[in-house]
Structures are given as structure tokens and as C-alpha cells.
Amino acid sequence: MAVRIGIGLGRFAFESVNGFRAWLDACEDSAIDSIWQSDQVVSRQFAPEPMTMLSIVAGATRRLKFGTNAVVLPFRDPISFARQCATLDYLSEGRFLPGVAIGRGEASEWAATGRSPKGRGPRADEALEVMTRLWKSESANFEGNFYSLKNATINPRPIQDPLPLWLGGASEAAIRRTARFGSGWLAPLQTPDETAATVKAIRVESQRIGRPIPDDHYGATFLYRIGKAADSRPADASPPSQTAARLESIQAIGGPERALSLIREFQRAGVTKFIAIPIARSDDEVMEQTRLLNEEVLPHANDNWES
């Protein structure tokens, strides 16, 4: 199974829109597979809304796939979100990869927006039912506790059939949700060993319900900086300690062999799709880290490795 590596933006480090566009041009002319944008519902730091930003990516590129890592679904209206996804996929001629999750219960966005995380799982399940029915059917019907459809149609519908829907999360409910709705799975902040256990559980559940997920549709995110560790300072204020520890466990800082070693660890866990997030603070740093990923990591990502 071929390894594919995209690049993600944990933070928008560009000093200008022109710098962002120049970076997109560099990615388009590289071997990088895809562009991914994270979702932060509220943020004091500059954090573009992902669907809006990815519409710019779609228009500025022709080859690159692009996706969300990941949209926090309980903060979205599923009908509007389904339309956004379908339109992005149609206008990009089938290059969009939606990734969704239900969000952490302790995330600050709940209190900041006057919402409760309670019940977000069942609400997300119904939202996924609404979205997938709208993508597939000319006349979608659904009656749930939170959402309802009656002979509903959206146009355009996605070019990709089915539209690849990547889900995140590692709880028992997330595993069941992925097996039921997902075309793929993106690991949350998990070590390779933790990821291996979740991949195994998803495979067991998807086989049980007769809806197997392809073996090459398991993904993971890692942070990297090719260069001296002393240069790898964080791009913003430190996150909470638990999150910081999680981030540290999926960082590859140093020579390109460190990134390749982490990729191999995830491969042994069953992962072949990756989102690499550069640790960078400026246009020049993002551009340089992208160049190094393309020239020193990607050419070796599919080298033979011991299972």
C-alpha cells in the first residue's frame, strides 16, 4: 500500500495572502499529496475558517487534493455543511476530502459559544446520517431527534461517489461511528501504539457490520521540523500540558530520518496516509520546511521497510 503524505497548517503562519499563494504554488509543483486545514471555532490567534480557506486552495490548484483535519461537526448545521462539501468537491472536480470529529468535551469552544458538549455524539451521528443521505440521494428523507429531511435535494452533489468521509476519534462510540459512516479514519493525538489498537478495533467493528474500510484509508497527523532542535520553537503559546505531551509524542524534529522513522512506526500500526504539519513561524520557514519535506522525506516514504 502506497504511502501518501499531505501537509497541514496547524496555524496560519503566513505574513500575507501573497505568501500563502506562493506556498500553494510550491505545493502544486511538488510531490505533496494534499493540503489540510484545522478547525478552531473560536481563537485569539489567526485561524481561518477551513471551508472558506479551502475554497481558495481549490481555485489556486489543479492537482492537489485538500481536506479538513477536522471540522468539529456539532458546531455545524449538517445541511449547510453537506452543501459546502458537495460544492467544493464539484468545483474542484473531485479533490475534496472532508474530515470530521465531534470535538473534545473539555474544549473551550463550548463555554465560549454558550453550548454544552453533552449529547454531541448522538447529534453528530444524526448529522452524518443527514449529510450522507443528501450526498447520495435525489430525494433524501430522515427523521431523528435533532434533524429532519423530507424529500430534500441538494444540487450539485459531490463528483466523488461516495464522497470520501474521514472521521476522527478513538472512543468506542467513535470507532462505531467510523465503521458506520467513514470512508477512512484519521488518528487523533495518538502514539503509534495507541493508533494500532484503534485501527484494529475499527477493522473488527467494520467487518462485524459488513462495511469494511479499505486498508489504505487509515491516517495520522504528525508535527515535524527538519533542522536543529533549538530552532524548533513553538509557533504560539503553549497548549495545556496534557495536549503538549500528546503533541510531543508525535513530533519529528531533527534530520529527515526522524520523520521517516515516525512514519515507519505508524506504518506498522496500519497507517499509510499522513498529514505533516511543519513547525514554522513565517512564510520563509513554512516554504523551507515544505521544500525539505518534498525533497528529503517524500522520495523515501515508500522505501522498503520491515513489518
| Cα–Cα distance measured from residue 271 to residue 216, given in angstroms and rounded to the nearest whole number | 7
Q: Which position has the grid cell 532542535?
A: 229
| Cα–Cα distance measured from residue 188 to residue 260, given in angstroms and rounded to the nearest whole number | 20
Q: Is the pLDDT of residue 68 over 50?
A: yes
98-135 burial by CB neighbour count: b if 16+ within 10 A, else e?
bbbbbbbeeeebbeeeeeebeebbebbbbbbbbbbbbb
Predicted local confidence at residue 247, as pLDDT? 81
Q: List the domains of the chain with CATH numbers.
A: 4-300 (3.20.20.30)
| E strand segments, the chain | 4-9, 34-37, 65-68, 71-72, 96-97, 99-101, 140-143, 148-152, 166-168, 184-186, 218-226, 251-254, 273-278
Q: How far is CA 278 from CA 108, 275, 285, in A?
A: 25, 10, 9
Q: Are 259 and 297 in contact (CB under 8 A)?
A: yes
Mean pLDDT of 40-60: 95
Predicted local confidence at residue 235, as pLDDT? 46
Closest CA to 266 of 216, 212, 206: 216
Q: What would the grid cell of residue 23 be? A: 506556498
Closest CA to 198 of 256, 109, 269: 269
Q: Is the pLDDT of residue 11 over 90?
A: no
| pLDDT one-digit tens code per residue, 274-301 | 999 999 999 999 999 999 999 999 999 9
Q: Are 105 and 117 in contact (CB under 8 A)?
A: yes
Q: How far is CA 141 from CA 77, 80, 147, 153, in A?
A: 17, 16, 10, 9
Predicted local confidence at residue 244, as pLDDT? 74
Predicted local confidence at residue 246, as pLDDT? 77
Predicted local confidence at residue 233, as pLDDT? 45
Q: What would the grid cell of residue 88 be? A: 467544493
Mean pLDDT of 127-151: 98
DSSP 147-174: -EEEEE--SSPPSSSSPP-EEE--SHHH
Mean pLDDT of 129-146: 97
DSSP 250-276: TEEEESHHHHHHHHHHHHHTT--EEEE
* Four-residue CA torsion sign, 26, 59, 53, 37: negative
Predicted local confidence at residue 229, as pLDDT? 60
Strand, coil or helix: what is 106?
coil
Q: Is the pLDDT of residue 230 over 50?
A: no
Predicted local confidence at residue 228, as pLDDT? 77
Q: What is the pTM of this model?
A: 0.93
